[in-house]
């Protein structure tokens, strides 16, 4: 997951907005205009839809990894139960709910 680009864009936008935030002394008109241009340029480079897509893709990948790990753990427990002649019904629900609700 490469969030570095999005992070830098967001930092640039934040810095530009911070410069516009109520200074102690009123700024000259040309200074405000320059800072507004800078903020507008920073806002144009920041793409929240792209960031959202990256985050959703990463969330799906993490959900899948957790689901696979849960399935692997469940299979290991079932195999161990079979090897030990322990009732498998006891292990049927182990780990089923842990990862399912994380990204619901």
pLDDT on residue 35: 86
Nearest-5° Cα angle at 52, 47 to 55: 130
pLDDT on residue 33: 86
pLDDT on residue 22: 67
- State phi, psi for 49 to the nearest 5 degrees: -65, -40
Tell me the C-alpha distance between 32 and 38, whole Å.
10
Calculate the alpha carbon distances from 9 to 2, 4, 5, 81, 94 in Å: 13, 9, 6, 53, 43
Tell me the C-alpha distance between 90 and 93, whole Å.
8
pLDDT in tens, 36-63: 899 999 999 988 998 899 899 999 999 9
pLDDT on residue 91: 47
Domain ranges of the chain: 1-46, 59-104
- pTM here is 0.59
């Amino acid at each position: 997951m490469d969030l570095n680009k999005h992070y830098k864009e967001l930092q640039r936008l934040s810095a530009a907005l911070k410069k516009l935030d109520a200074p102690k002394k009123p700024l000259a008109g040309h200074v405000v205009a320059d800072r507004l241009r800078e903020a507008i340029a920073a806002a144009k480079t920041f793409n929240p839809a792209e960031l959202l897509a990256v985050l959703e893709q990463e969330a799906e990948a993490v959900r899948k990894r957790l689901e696979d790990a849960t399935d692997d753990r469940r299979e290991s427990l079932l195999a161990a139960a079979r090897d030990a002649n322990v009732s498998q019904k006891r292990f049927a629900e182990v780990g089923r709910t842990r990862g399912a609700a994380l990204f619901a």
